[in-house]
Amino acid sequence: MTSNTQNPKYQKAHQYAKQAATAATNAARQLNDPQKIDNGMLRLVVYALLIPIGIVFARNIRPYSTFMASLMGVQGVPIIATLAGLCCFAAVQYLEVFTQFLPENAPSSKRAARMWLSIPAYIVDIIACWSFWPLLKPGSPEGIMLVRFIDLGGLTMTVITIFGLEIWFWIRKRARRAA
């Protein structure tokens, strides 16, 4: 008589039981995931915040398109400059939020390396925005940096472009359940 462990039906059933146990374990881990936002309404609000950020970002591709067109030395904004601007914008935004994708217990050397990578992205972002939305109002006296000469609309759009996605990640992180 053969033992049950060598029976093909037993081996098949054992394999299915292992797969089911693994699937159940993975499902339980997802339920207890500290990255998850528990409250359905809060989750809706957090992800609804992406809509205005997306609208603003769609509008904020223009500085990059204009910036890329000026780098290419062309008049106007041809489609190639718009595509290059979109790629540049996406790369810059990704590098700015690159540190957000690290786990909480990541080594500080890894966090510092990612922060150093984000510094050039911030510089490019500021240059692109200020070339499109000048910081000072037209007709401001040269050499004087007074608050009353700052163009608040351009400054607001620059701040939203630079920090909008980062603020969303910060809000999302605060909305997660406590581990």
State pTM to two decimals. Answer: 0.62
Per-residue pLDDT of the chain (179 residues; tens, 9 = 90+): 445 667 777 777 777 667 766 776 666 565 555 556 666 677 777 778 778 777 777 777 888 888 888 888 888 778 888 888 888 888 888 888 888 888 778 888 888 888 898 899 899 888 888 888 877 777 666 665 566 677 788 888 888 888 888 888 888 777 765 43
Q: What tokens were used for 62? A: 């223009």
Q: What tokens were used for 163? A: 């920090």
> Which of 171, 131, 165, 152 is closest to 58 using CA atoms?
165
